Structure 1
Amino acid sequence: MSAAMLRPAEERIVHVPLGERAYDILIGPGLIGRAGGEFTARLKGRRAAIITDENVASHYLAPLMDSLQTDGIEAVSLTLPAGEKTKSFDNLAAVADMVLSAKIERNDAVIALGGGVIGDLAGFAAGIVRRGVRFVQIPTSLLAQVDSSVGGKTGINTRHGKNLLGVFHQPDLVLADTAVLDSLSPREFRAGYAEVVKYGLIDKPYFFHWLEKHWKQVFEGGPERNEAIAISCRAKADVVVEDERETGRRALLNLGHTFGHALEAATSYDSSRLVHGEGVAIGMVLAHQFSARLNLASPDDAQRVAAHLSEVGLPTRITDIEGELPPTDVLMDAIAQDKKVKGGKLTFILTRGVGQSFVADDVPPSEVASFLEDMRS
C-alpha cells in the first residue's frame, strides 16, 4: 500500500469535480511529511519547483524537500520575502525565471508552500510558464487553507489595486496540513478565521451559528478545527464548480472583499496596520451595515456579525485601523478598480440577513461614498 493510501482517521478529503481538471483537497495533520507520496500518486512529472517565503521556509521547506526526495521527486526552491508586497511584477519575473531555469516541464509542478501571497504568485507563474504547468498548493495559513488555495484564482498587485493581474489556473492537488496552523501567531489565525466566517454569512446561517458556539475549539485545534476547514473548503468548491470564472454566483465569495481590498490599498498593503483577513472582517461588517442602511437587512444582523468578529479579536470598524487613511474619494477609486463600474454603478455583495448574501450590480457610488464618510467618523 502506498504512502498516499495510509491516511489518519482525522483526515478529510474534499473533491473538486471540474472534469479533466478535477482535484482533491486533503485536510489533516502531517501532510507535508507525506507530500512526496501524494505527488507521485497524482502527477506524472518527477520534478518540482517550490516557491516559499522566509517565514515558512525556516519551518517547513526542509521536511517538504525530504519527503519529495524520498519519493523520487527532484526539487529546487526559491525563498522570497514574506508579506503582501511580494505579489509584484519583479517577483513574478523571478519565479518564472527560476521555473524555466529548473527545466520544469508541463507534467512537472510548481509547488506553493506558504500562505495566500505565495499561492497567488506561484499559481500565476505556473499558469503562464510554458502556457501552464502543473500546480500544487501546500497552504500554511488558515486563510490560504480555506480560501485562496482553492478555486484557481492567481494574481499579483499593481499600483492600481490588488489582484488586478492574474489568470485562472486550477491546482492539481491541495495539501492542507492542519498541524502547521499551531505555529501561526494569534493575529494570523484570527485573520484566516474571518474567511471561515464568510462562508456562514454567504449562505450557511447554520454554520455561522455553529461558529458562534464553537469558535474557541476551532482556535484551540482538534476536531472542530478540521470540521470548520472542511466545511469551508466544500463551500468554496461547490461555488467554484458552479461558476469557475466568476460570471455569476462565484462573486458571492467576495463578501467583505470590495471594502476590504480598498482598505488594504489605503494602507499601502502595510501588514503592520492591516492584513487581508482583517480587511475582510471590517469589510463584512461594512457590507451588513450598508445593507441595513439601504433597508435590505436588519441592523441587528450587522450588530451580530460585528459582535462575533470582535469577540474573537478581529477589527470591525474603519477606525480600528491604525494611522491615517486617505480621503474617501481615494477609497472610492480603489473600490471602482476592484469591482469595476458598470453603467456608472458599482457591483457589491450585499445581504438580506445572516446567510442571505446576494450580488447587487446597481449600487450608486454616491451612496457608498456617503456611507464610508459616515463610517469614518
Structure 2
Amino acid sequence: MKRNWKKIALTSLLSLTLTLPLASYGQAAAQTDLTNMPPTYRDVLLDTVKNDNGAARELRMNIFIPPTAKKTAVPVLVYVHGGGWAKGSYEGDDAKKRLSETPTSSQGAMMDKDNTSSYKIFKDVLNHGIAFVSVDYRLNSEAALPAQIYDVKGALRFLRAHAHEYGIDESRMAICGTSAGAHLAAEMALTANRPELEGTVGGNSGVSSKVIACVDYYGPTNLLTMAPEMDSRLQDPAQAAETHDSTRANESILLGFAGNGEGVGTLRKISEANDTASPYWPMVEKAKLSSPAYQVTKDAPPFFIAHGGHDSLVPIQQSISLQKALTEAGVENLFICNSQAPHGYQGEDTNKAMMRWLCHKLNVKY
C-alpha cells in the first residue's frame, strides 16, 4: 500500500513539474504578442497632396517591423482601412493607445482585449515575421476618385523604393483591406502599373506598384450594383437604395456625382441602357474603371476573399462576382463565407485560414 502511495506522489510531482513550464511559456507568449507593439516608424510622410477644394492634405503611414527581423529582409502586408471611404485613419486601433501612453488607461485596456478588430487581425502578421504597414488615403469628403487609388498606389511605390531602408523584401509585398479598404486594395492589386490609375502621389513613378497577393474582406467590387444586389431579408430595398443609390450615398460622393439629379442609381440606369450618348456616360466609365470586378485579367495576383452571409451593408454578391471573374480568368483564389457573419468580424476559423494562406503566399512559416 505504501508503494502505491509513493507511485501516486511521484506521478503528481512529475505532472506538476511538467505543467509549470507550460504555464510560464503561455505567459511569455501573451507578453510578446506583437499586435500591441507601437510603430517602428510612426507617421511617415508619403506626400502632401491637395483635396478637391485646394486644401493641403498630408498622407502618412505607420510602419511596423517585427523585432525578430535580423539581417534578412522581411515580407510586408499593406493594410488599407475601411470606413465607407468616409471615415477612418491609418492609425487604426493604435490611435487609442496614442491618446494615453499609460498601460493602465481604460482605452488601452479596451484595445488589448479586442480580438475582433480587423486592424489587429491583420496586424497579427507581425507574429509571423511579416512587416505591417497601415496607409492613409483621402476620404470621399476630401477628394473624388481616382484620388484614393492614387494615394494607395503611391504608398506601395514608396515602400518598394525605400525597401532597403526599412528592411522590407520588395519582391514579397501583399495588400489587404476591409470593406471600403478592401475595395481600394483589390482595385490596386488588379490595376498595378496601369498608367491611367497610377497617379504621381509620392513620386517614384518608375517603381512598380505590383503585389503578389491580395486579401479582400467583404469589399465592394462593383460600385454600380450595390443596391439591387442587397438581399431584401437583410435590408429593405428602399433603404438599400438610400444607402447606395442616392446622392447621399458614399459611393455617389466617392465618384464625385452627388449633385441634384445625380447619384449611383442614375448611373446604373444609363449603364443598363448602354446610353453612350448621355453626358453622364464618362461617369459610368469612371465607376466601372474604379470597380474591381471589371478590372480582372489573367495577370492578377492570387486573392483571398471573405464575406459574411449576414452582411447588411455590402451584398455578398459583390464578392461572388469578383470570385467568378477571377476564376474565369484563371486566377488563383480562395473564397470563404461564414454564413452567420455580419459586415465585420468573420470568425476565428476564417481569420486563421486567411493567415495561413497569406503566410504561404509570402513564403514564411505559419
Same fold per superposition (TM over 0.5): no
Normalised TM-score (structure 2) = 0.30
Normalised TM-score (structure 1) = 0.29
Q: Which has the higher helix share?
A: 1
